[in-house]
């Protein structure tokens, strides 16, 4: 009886929060009874973390452990720590995580940090800390990116993120708007969210299978400010929606997800392209990006704001001026329809078709996981320290598939699947 009364008196916010938790655990993670679960989240996400913890135990998790991060503590480090700090990372903790994954634990990340947390900090220290963290977390990250375990990422509203998106609203109103945007984008507004997610997943997988059947050699994008042909990598593989992890469990690594994506050939892009949305990169907003490619490489790059940051980004290494991902997203996706810029890749990359500078995914090549670096390069897969998505799709964008014989057929018209 107490349970029933509790259900009745839940607010709509609580209902949707619980639904997001159910979808995250049962569809996103595909958690199996008897699995452990590790969650990473910011302190501000504790409400969603508790809902996920409850759903995970209901689904049979033997133990749920959450590693909370604290933005305030991160800032205190930049403010007070000795210089040597910025070459350090908690390797003992990352090794522990890798051991948890090897022992069968699932992994859920709650996204939602302050998008400009480090914008005012010394960029060199930020870069050094990122490198130290990357090195320390590599063993754990590899078990995730190669899908040895089932994992997912979902988002929680946080005050700093809400303020970044809705700076003119009172804190409570901004939080409510962001939560509603997350619920809509994550497809948990209504009853039947678990079934709807399974159908959505099946549709993305069917779309990827269709494109894999076509074996296009390139994509040809046309629209305002854009006439770009991007060659696809040899043996490229389109992916979309969920995946079966090495432990046999079906998971959907990103929630929301609206994209099908593959690996371009890093030597074969040519033409020009205009971004359809600004890019938020480490606290800097880069607007009106216009870029020209020759032989896969950027030879001209301009922007409205953030031109210096854009050039520095492209100059990171040789691969940073080349493409590592192409992704197709219909203009009618819930995130696109919201008209919001989230300052968060998990959302913004699912608002529009996009391309990414930098590192390619070996999972987007047939047998890519078993290829050496030299084999990956021979197939056209790009290599770089960065991987930065930016939006080029819009309601005015057409995309043609280009066959090996040079013939073209329309696959997206005015931003929608044909």
Give residues in contact with a second copy (CB under 8 A).
33-34, 36, 43, 46, 49-50, 53-54, 57-58, 60-68, 70, 72-73, 76-77, 79-82, 84-85, 88-90, 92-93, 95-97, 99-100, 103, 105
**CB burial readout 138-172, b (16+ within 10 A) else e:** ebbbebbeebebbbbbbbbbbeebbbbbbeeeeee
∠ Cα 99 105 108 (to 5°)? 110
CB of 373 to a second copy, least distance (A): 30
- CB nearer to a second copy: pick between 118 and 327: 118
- CB nearer to a second copy: pick between 85 and 121: 85
Q: In 3D, which of 211, 115, 155 has the Cα closest to residue 24?
A: 155
Q: In 3D, which of 54, 20, 73 has the Cα closest to residue 182?
A: 20
- CB nearer to a second copy: pick between 25 and 285: 25
Residue 386: Cβ within 10 Å count: 16
CB of 10 to a second copy, least distance (A): 16
- CB nearer to a second copy: pick between 64 and 175: 64
Cα(43)–Cα(49) distance, rounded to whole angstroms? Answer: 9
CB of 114 to a second copy, least distance (A): 16
CB of 15 to a second copy, least distance (A): 18
CB of 82 to a second copy, least distance (A): 5
- CB nearer to a second copy: pick between 65 and 338: 65
DSSP 169: S
- CB nearer to a second copy: pick between 57 and 417: 57
- CB nearer to a second copy: pick between 50 and 292: 50
Distance set, CA 272 to CA 2, 3, 143 (Å): 62, 59, 37
CB of 77 to a second copy, least distance (A): 6
Cα(105)–Cα(379) distance, rounded to whole angstroms? Answer: 34
- CB nearer to a second copy: pick between 114 and 348: 114
- CB nearer to a second copy: pick between 35 and 394: 35
Cα(58)–Cα(143) distance, rounded to whole angstroms? Answer: 26
Residues 6+ apart with CB under 8 A from 103: 36
Distance set, CA 25 to CA 56, 192, 310, 362 (Å): 6, 15, 37, 27
Q: In 3D, which of 53, 40, 239, 253 has the Cα closest to residue 147?
A: 253
CB of 54 to a second copy, least distance (A): 5
CB of 312 to a second copy, least distance (A): 27
Cα(114)–Cα(155) distance, rounded to whole angstroms? Answer: 12
**Residue 334 dihedral angles phi and psi, to the nearest 5°:** -55, -35
CB of 339 to a second copy, least distance (A): 35
Helices 12-23 and 193-214 cross at an angle (nearest 10°) of 40
């Amino acid at each position: 009886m107490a349970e029933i009364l509790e259900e009745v008196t839940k607010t709509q916010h609580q209902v949707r929060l619980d639904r997001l938790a159910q979808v995250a655990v049962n569809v996103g993670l595909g958690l199996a009874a008897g699995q452990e679960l590790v969650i990473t989240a910011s302190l501000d996400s504790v409400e969603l973390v508790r809902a996920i913890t409850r759903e995970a135990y209901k689904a049979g998790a033997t133990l749920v452990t959450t590693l909370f991060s604290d933005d305030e503590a991160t800032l205190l480090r930049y403010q007070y720590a000795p210089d040597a700090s910025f070459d350090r990372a908690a390797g003992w903790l990352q090794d522990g995580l890798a051991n948890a994954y090897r022992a069968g634990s699932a992994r859920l990340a709650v996204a939602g940090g302050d998008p400009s947390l480090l914008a005012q900090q010394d960029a060199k220290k930020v870069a050094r800390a990122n490198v130290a963290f990357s090195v320390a977390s590599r063993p754990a990250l590899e078990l995730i990116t190669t899908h040895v375990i089932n994992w997912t990422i979902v988002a929680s509203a946080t005050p700093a993120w809400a303020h970044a998106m809705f700076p003119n609203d009172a804190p409570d109103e901004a939080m409510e708007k962001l939560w509603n945007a997350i619920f809509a984008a994550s497809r948990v507004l209504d009853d039947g969210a678990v079934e709807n997610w399974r159908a959505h997943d099946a549709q993305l997988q069917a779309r990827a299978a269709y494109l894999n059947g076509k074996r296009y050699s390139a994509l040809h994008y046309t629209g305002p400010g854009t006439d770009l042909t991007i060659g696809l990598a040899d043996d490229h593989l389109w992916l979309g929606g969920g995946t079966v992890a090495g432990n046999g469990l079906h998971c959907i690594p990103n929630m929301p997800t609206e994209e099908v994506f593959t690996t371009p050939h890093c030597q074969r892009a040519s033409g020009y392209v205009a971004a359809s949305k600004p890019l938020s990169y480490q606290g800097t907003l880069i607007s009106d990006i216009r870029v020209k490619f020759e032989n896969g490489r950027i030879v001209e790059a301009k922007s409205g704001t953030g031109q210096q940051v854009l050039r520095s980004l492209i100059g990171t290494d040789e691969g940073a001026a080349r493409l590592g991902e192409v992704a197709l997203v219909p203009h009618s996706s819930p995130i696109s329809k919201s008209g919001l810029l989230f300052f968060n890749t998990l959302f913004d990359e699912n608002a529009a078709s996009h391309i990414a500078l930098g590192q390619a995914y070996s999972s987007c090549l047939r047998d890519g996981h078993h290829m050496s670096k030299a084999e990956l390069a021979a197939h056209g897969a790009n290599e770089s320290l960065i991987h930065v998505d930016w939006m080029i799709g819009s309601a005015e964008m057409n995309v043609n598939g280009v066959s090996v014989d040079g013939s073209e057929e329309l696959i997206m018209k005015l931003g929608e699947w044909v």
